[in-house]
Amino acid sequence: YLMTDWTRVLSFDDVDHPYGDEDEAALEAEVNGNWTPQEKALHEARLKAKAKRRVRKSSSRSESLSESLSGELADGDSYSSKGKVPVPNDRKSRTGKGRGLPKKGGAGGKGVWGAAGMVYEVEEPDVKDPNYDEVAQGDTVYATVVPEVDERELEKTVNPIVREYFEHGDTKEVQMLLKELNLGHHKYEFSSLAVSLSLEGKASHRELTSRLLRDLVGKVLSESDMARAFDKILKELPDLMLDTPEAPQMLGQFIARAIADHALPMAFLDRYKGKVDCDHARAALDRAAVLLSMKREMVRLDNVWGVGGGLRPVKHLVKEMNFLLKEYLVSGEVKEAERCLRDLEVPHFHHELVYEAVVMVLESKGDTAVKMCKLLQAFWKIGLITVDQMNRGFQRVYDELPEINLDVPHAHSIMESFTDLCYQESVITKQLRDSCPSRGRKRFVSEGDGGLIKN
């Protein structure tokens, strides 16, 4: 057949012929060229209407065919078996329940910053905003934030600082270290820990602690912080006495010295009158009150701990060592002599003890040499006197032996025998024994040497 475009679509084998007998006759008339233009237009309109009805009733098998017919004959309108196909990017409600209003009141959409007529206020920049630029905010101040020391870590942090201070004695370094730490509301506990450590130490440590408390007030700690620290120590006094039985008397001296140094307020003792139940705390406060009530001419609180270590005058140290040796010769107690020497706290000056001991041997008689050798041997074995201090003490005697010989004629022979005894007891080295000077003399014929002169 010679067909038009719409008849060509309906000629597939898998589609039933949609026309009746009249249509076939009209089709033959068209082929023969007997139609007028009006008849032809009317016939095409009838065919379009039938095609539309057929598309609505057709099964799913002919959906593709209906889409092609609607695309060519219905001016681009698309239909489906359920109605109109949804248009892409359609913002209208597909459920049919919407009110027909635009989303977000007309303030939404791409490139839209809000509804028409909306005025935005100036907002402060948010530091947590990912786009926050600190350079664009003006002058930037950088500050180091130090976290506060935890109460459980406080003792581990403070103890090394205090023990190191006992070695160097520099209060300014302690102030610098404390300023770098953030002790927070626990800073008063530094004073209590320092005092507790000094109670277990030496007199020189307690003197250093008193000086430290004096220098910290007004710079790192306040008088109220110091008062809180001593309040805490008074409460812990029964526990401190387990390790230090003399803790009440020592704490009383600490309180008196702190008040004298203006580290504690003068009213510290007054607020405890008649309010103390602990006997040990009462003893400490009474000790402080007695020291403060005494006249300055009778006692100086600056020396309440005594002058320890290398701060003592040399004459005083020499006198103490002489007294120590004389007491030992009378009692013969090595342990007591060891305790007295340790209390002097002058390990760098132990060569003076060796010197005084050897001079006593040269100037005395009897078994003094044996006793002194025993004492030096005991100090050598426990490491109280080092090799350097021992050699230095003997060498000082060697250098002064000619002058000593003026008062002690037999000084050389006594010195030789004493060095031999000390070498046998492993007190001195062989080199030190051999360096002992000996006085040479001439011997003449009258001494029975066969007329020979010997040096």
Each residue of 250-265: pLDDT tens digit?
999 999 999 988 889 8
d(CA 294, CA 317): 28
pLDDT in the model for residue 89: 67
Please give the share of the chain, as a percent, with pLDDT higher than 90: 26
| Size of the chain, expressed as the number of residues it contains | 455
Highest mean pLDDT among 136-150, 295-309, 398-412: 398-412
pLDDT in the model for residue 300: 55
Query: Among 243, 182, 187, 238, which Cα is nearest to 216's?
Result: 187
Please provide the average confidence, as pLDDT, over all residues in the chain: 78
Highest mean pLDDT among 93-102, 117-126, 194-203: 194-203
Cα–Cα distances (Å) from 307 to 34, 174, 215, 311, 384, in that order, read: 146, 22, 19, 6, 21
Confidence of residue 398 (pLDDT cuts 50, 70, 90): very high
Adjacent-strand bridge partners of 443: 454
* Residue bearing the bigger pLDDT, 284 or 365: 284
* Residue bearing the bigger pLDDT, 203 or 18: 203
Least confident window among 87-96, 149-158, 213-222: 87-96
Confidence of residue 328 (pLDDT cuts 50, 70, 90): very high
- DSSP letters, 62-116, are GHHHHHHHHHHHSTT--EETTEEPPPTT--S-SSS---SPPGGGGT-STT--SST
Question: Per the structure block, which two tokens stand in for 430?
Answer: 């062989």
- Give the tens place of pLDDT for each residue, 214-233: 999 988 899 999 999 999 99
Confidence of residue 195 (pLDDT cuts 50, 70, 90): very high
Q: Is the pLDDT of residue 164 over 50?
A: yes
3-state secondary structure of 219: coil
Residue indicated by tokens 């698309």: 78
pLDDT in the model for residue 93: 60
Q: Is the pLDDT of residue 7 over 60?
A: no
Neighbours of 253 (CB within 10 A): 19
C-alpha dihedral (312, 313, 318, 324), degrees to nearest 10: -30
pLDDT in the model for residue 79: 42
- Give the tens place of pLDDT for each residue, 415-424: 999 999 999 9
Instruction: Give the global pTM.
Output: 0.48
Least confident window among 29-38, 291-300, 397-406: 291-300
